[in-house]
Amino acid sequence: MTTVEKEISGGGFVRQPNRFTARITADGSGGHPAGPGRYRLLVSYACPWAQRTLIVRRLLGLEEAISVGVVDPIRDERGWRFPGPDPVTGADFLSELYLAADPSFDGRCTVPCVWDAQTRLLVTNDFPAITIAMETEFAAWHAEGAPDLYPERLRPEIDELNERIYHTVNNGVYKAGFATAQGPYDEAVDALFATLDVLEERLAHRRYLFGDELTEADVRLYPTLARFDAVYYSHFKCNLRRLVDYPALWAYTRDLYSRPAFRETTDFDHIKRHYYVTQRMVNPSGIVPKGPLIDWDEPHGRERLSRT
Ligand X SMILES: N[C@@H](CCC(=O)N[C@@H](CS)C(=O)NCC(=O)O)C(=O)O
Work out how close the CB of 184 gets to ligand X at its nearest, in angstroms, rounded to a whole number. Answer: 17
Cβ atoms of 199 and 191 closer than 8 Å: no
Q: Is 232 a catalytic residue?
A: no
Amino acid at 207: R
Q: Is 113 a catalytic residue?
A: no
Work out how close the CB of 5 gets to ligand X at its nearest, in angstroms, rounded to a whole number. Answer: 11
Binding site for ligand X (CB under 6 A): 3-4, 15-16, 18, 47, 49, 79, 108, 110-111, 125, 127
Burial level of 218, CB count in 10 A (0-12/13-18/19+)? buried
Other Cβ atoms less than 10 A from the Cβ of 56: the count is 26
Work out how close the CB of 243 gets to ligand X at its nearest, in angstroms, rounded to a whole number. Answer: 19
Give me the catalytic one of 174, 233, 275, 276.
Answer: 174
Closest CA to 22 of 96, 109, 129: 129
Amino acid at 236: F
Give me the catalytic one of 39, 47, 98, 185.
Answer: 47
Work out how close the CB of 110 gets to ligand X at its nearest, in angstroms, rounded to a whole number. Answer: 3
Whose Cβ is closer to ligand X: residue 128's or residue 211's? 128
Cβ atoms of 232 and 189 closer than 8 Å: no
Work out how close the CB of 265 gets to ligand X at its nearest, in angstroms, rounded to a whole number. Answer: 14
Residue 295 three-state SS: coil
Whose Cβ is closer to ligand X: residue 14's or residue 244's? 14
Whose Cβ is closer to ligand X: residue 67's or residue 224's? 224
Closest CA to 137 of 36, 40, 17, 18: 36
Residue 107 three-state SS: coil
Kindly report the length of the chain. Answer: 308
Q: Give me the active site residues, please.
A: 47, 174
